[in-house]
Amino acid sequence: MAAVFPAWVVIVVVMSEAAVVMSGFPATLKLERSIPLASHELELSRLRERDILRHGRLLQSSVGVVDFPVLGLYDPFLVGLYYTKLQIGSPPREFHVQIDTGSDALWIGCNSCKGCPKSSGLQIPLKLYDPGSSSTASTVSCSDERCSHGIKSLSSICSGSSYRCSYTFQYGDGSGTSGYYVLDLLHFNKIVQGSVDSNATAKVMFGCSTLQTGNLTTPDRAVDGIFGFGKQSLSVISQLSSQGVAPRTFSHCLKGSDGGGGILVFGEVVEPNMSYTPLVPSMPHYNLDLRSISVGGQVLPIDKSEFSTSINRGTIVDSGTTLAYLADEVYNAFVGAIKNFCFSNRAPCSFPGKSMLRNN
């Protein structure tokens, strides 16, 4: 709902403890602003400098934390997504990938890709990954143990005479991608006890996309790939954790004002005055136990069954989805209450571009 309430949103997920942290975020979805208004806000570069200095206090880990930049904007009419830059291979090449907590694997368009866009409306240079041009790249075979783990979680495929560990992903908007897995070096900044190591590397397994379909083929908001932050073993955060490179915890800060951007860190937040809400256990996504919604201090009369959680329903945190989607009964009650509140207080009330949609 960032298009309605521009603000900083901080998401911290401790995967091993199954908790999501949002500053000032009780179950009734009361919105509180912990950063000064736009007229007083700090420049993003100054915020990042300040955060690096504070990482030794805020982000504690015996193995250090990993820091990535965040670009993009909440406004669906301008960008409508957040993405980061990764350096992969030897020599390292830079790729722009969308940050997506709703999927698991990292994948990047490969040099043999069909349907990969050649230009981007985001004004970023698109690149194709070529495993043959990296001296540290290798193909993941079907006999690799990591491929076997992927098969169990439906993240990889091995069939026929092909020796390569393959994958096919379908997304909620009907788009899809398929390809095969490779191993190569990921380059990143690592912060240990306040010191920054800008030459840190680790080998990670990721997808080499040879086919893209649906919205992934359009150039409007095209990026080089998708950076999945899901719970499965093939997610990069799980891989780095298993290697002892970073903790199995990530913090994701989204800047909702016109400048966009934010911060993405693999690390544990120990800052006091945080409000915690637990994740629903044994779910494939980061499900929250949403119990009620309030507008103007009044809890809306919504049937509690609308908030129930199962494998195919519930409330999830998904950074790869631009809009907030609500079930019909919840949508009607929520929007109606906002309109009544605006009318009662004689305040202007508008929903630019339908920033919330029914979850049909």
Q: Is 173 a catalytic residue?
A: no
Q: Is residue 1 in some structural domain?
A: no
Q: Rounded distance, CA 248 to CA 241, Å?
A: 5
Do 203 and 112 share a domain, yes or no? yes
Query: Which position among 51, 130, 289, 318 bears the catalytic label?
Result: 318
Give the model's pLDDT for residue 23. 35
Q: Kindly indicate the confidence band of residue 29, based on its pLDDT and cuts at 50, 70 and 90.
A: very low
Last residue of one domain, picked from the residues 219, 235, 266: 266
Q: Kindly indicate the confidence band of residue 269, based on its pLDDT and cuts at 50, 70 and 90.
A: low
CATH number, residue 128: 2.40.70.10
Do 284 and 245 share a domain, yes or no? no
Q: Which domain holds residue 187?
A: 8-266
Do 294 and 181 share a domain, yes or no? no
Q: Is residue 61 in some structural domain?
A: yes
Q: Is the pLDDT of residue 135 over 80?
A: yes
Last residue of one domain, picked from the residues 213, 239, 266: 266
Q: Is the pLDDT of residue 2 over 70?
A: no
Q: Is 184 a catalytic residue?
A: no
Q: Kindly indicate the confidence band of residue 271, based on its pLDDT and cuts at 50, 70 and 90.
A: low
Q: Is residue 20 in some structural domain?
A: yes
Do 217 and 180 share a domain, yes or no? yes
Q: Is residue 251 in some structural domain?
A: yes
Rounded mean pLDDT, 201-208: 95
pLDDT tens-digit readout, 145-192: 888 777 766 677 886 556 889 999 888 778 899 999 999 999 988 877
Query: Which position among 100, 144, 184, 224 bears the catalytic label?
Result: 100
**How much is the pTM?**
0.73
Q: Is residue 271 in some structural domain?
A: no
Weakest-pLDDT range from 30-39, 109-118, 298-307, 309-318:
30-39
Give the model's pLDDT for residue 87. 95
Number of domains in the chain: 2
Q: What is the mean pLDDT of the chain?
A: 76
Last residue of one domain, picked from the residues 244, 266, 288: 266
Do 294 and 257 share a domain, yes or no? no
- Decide: 295 and 345 in contact? Cβ < 8 Å: no
